[in-house]
Amino acid sequence: MSDPTRTRRGPYAKSAERRQQIVEQAYRAFATRGYHGSSLREIAAASGISLSNLQHHFATKEELLVAVLARRDEQGGEIIAGPAGLPFREHIIAQAKANEGIPGLIALYSILSAEAVTPEHPGHTYFAERYDDLRSEYEAEFIVLRERGRLRSGVQPALAATTVVALWEGAQLQWLYAPDRVAAGDALRAYLELVIVPEADAS
């Protein structure tokens, strides 16, 4: 007697695998040619399927972009932390280093974030909200450091948060051009050492 559960799972698993394959090919295309420079037809061809088959899974390129950005977030969150999590400074330095080890992640982010500056771009809201979230998150971390006496005098948490975001992305962009000479983690470490007082010296 056949297992009806297995029968139902077969097509579903195959469909999920196909969607993942399409997202991976779109990821590569967007990271190489950007959103506007890529087409569903070429992504379908790279996936070994027809355009109509691709559109069965993703009706529009906008839907596919959403799936690619979700995959980017999933990959970007995969760093190893200690049992209680890493402190703020160590966390972002570790994340920066991890990003450089994920093929295409930095190129994808750099290209799409630049394209999405225009309000009509389908990724505009995603990046606008992401920047807001990052600045808010980092500002809160700097406020905590200030309360603990670990933020140097005169450093404004909001401005420091904006600087971290700008420095990180600028260093990653330079890394794309000179990966043997630039490391975002090193740039972040140098800046944070300037604004954060070592725990042993905190009053």
Confidence of residue 2 (pLDDT cuts 50, 70, 90): very low
Where a domain ends, among 28, 52, 72?
Answer: 72
Helices (H), the chain: 4-33, 40-46, 51-57, 61-76, 88-100, 105-115, 124-147, 157-177, 184-195
Confidence of residue 8 (pLDDT cuts 50, 70, 90): very low
Residue at 146: amino acid letter: R
What whole-number distance in Å separates Cα of residue 66 and Cα of residue 48? 21
Residues 91 and 189 in one domain: yes
Residues 175 and 106 in one domain: yes
Phi first, then psi, for residue 151 (nearest 5°) are -110, 130
Question: Residue 48: CB partners within 8 Å, gap ≥ 6?
Answer: none
Residues 171 and 140 in one domain: yes
Condensed to tens digits (0 to 9), the pLDDT of residues 76-86 reads 776 544 444 56
Give the residue among 135, 117, 137, 139 at the shortest CA–CA distance from 126: 117
- Residue 169 sits in a domain whose CATH number is 1.10.357.10
Condensed to tens digits (0 to 9), the pLDDT of residues 165-184 reads 999 999 999 999 999 999 99
